[in-house]
Chains A and B, each alone.
Chain A
Amino acid sequence: GAGVSQSPRYKVAKRGQDVALRCDPISGHVSLFWYQQALGQGPEFLTYFQNEAQLDKSGLPSDRFFAERPEGSVSTLKIQRTQQEDSAVYLCASSLQRWGTDTQYFGPGTRLTVL
């Protein structure tokens, strides 16, 4: 079946622009995660949704970052007034269950470059 999809795959923004990154999780998956992966580093947790509820946003680096999942399926990560340090690959993952060590399935990521 279809995996996690993300769009766009690549995004170039000028400093100060707003961007919106989309994630389509696997159908029926309750949990959705966003991670940020800087060049040469491992992914770092940003935020977590259980259905439409954002239960953990402890990893969001500033109030310029905002995520939503209004209907419990598709999610959008929005970054306002982008800065060069926001350049990274943004990964979305989904898992079937609400809790436990359930397998997270990752999308291909969106590579954001801020000039």
Chain B
Amino acid sequence: GNSVTQMEGPVTLSEEAFLTINCTYTATGYPSLFWYVQYPGEGLQLLLKATKADDKGSNKGFEATYRKETTSFHLEKGSVQVSDSAVYFCALSYGGATNKLIFGTGTLLAVQP
């Protein structure tokens, strides 16, 4: 079946460090891919998305490229801030009639000053 696998956390970084959170997926066809973020005490928010192979999603300094050949959608940021501390979820969707999201287990990022 369709699934998403994320690197386990927590990921602990110092401010201004480079961030990578790995995400790979298993799916038939060509899903759309998403990163959602959950800040402490808040609801899930869409961070970025890519709807077809080789697309790059970007937002707030974060980027992820849809790699069909490696079935991956790794999240990167060149210089993290304390305010980036949150749980990050990778997800896929086929859109269509249902558009339900299939999530990974989430990766906790803690950025220290």
Contacts and interface: CB of A to CB of B under 8 A. Distances in A.
Interface stretch (A39-47, A60-68, A75-83): A39-47
A59 B91 CA distance: 16
Nearest to A6: B43
A50 B96 CA distance: 12
Chain A interface residue number, banded: 20 to 34
B98 A100 contact: no
Interface of B: 4, 32, 36, 42-46, 49, 51, 89, 91, 93, 95-106
Contacts of A95: 99
5 tightest Cβ-Cβ pairs between the two chains A and B: A42-B103, A106-B44, A101-B32, A45-B100, A101-B95
Contacts of B44: 43, 91, 93, 106
Given A42-B105, A44-B103, A45-B100, A106 B45 contact: yes
Interface of A: 3-4, 31, 33, 35, 40-45, 48, 50, 55-56, 59, 91, 93, 95, 99-109
Contacts of B91: 42
Nearest to A43: B103
A99 B43 contact: no
B39 to A, nearest CB: 11
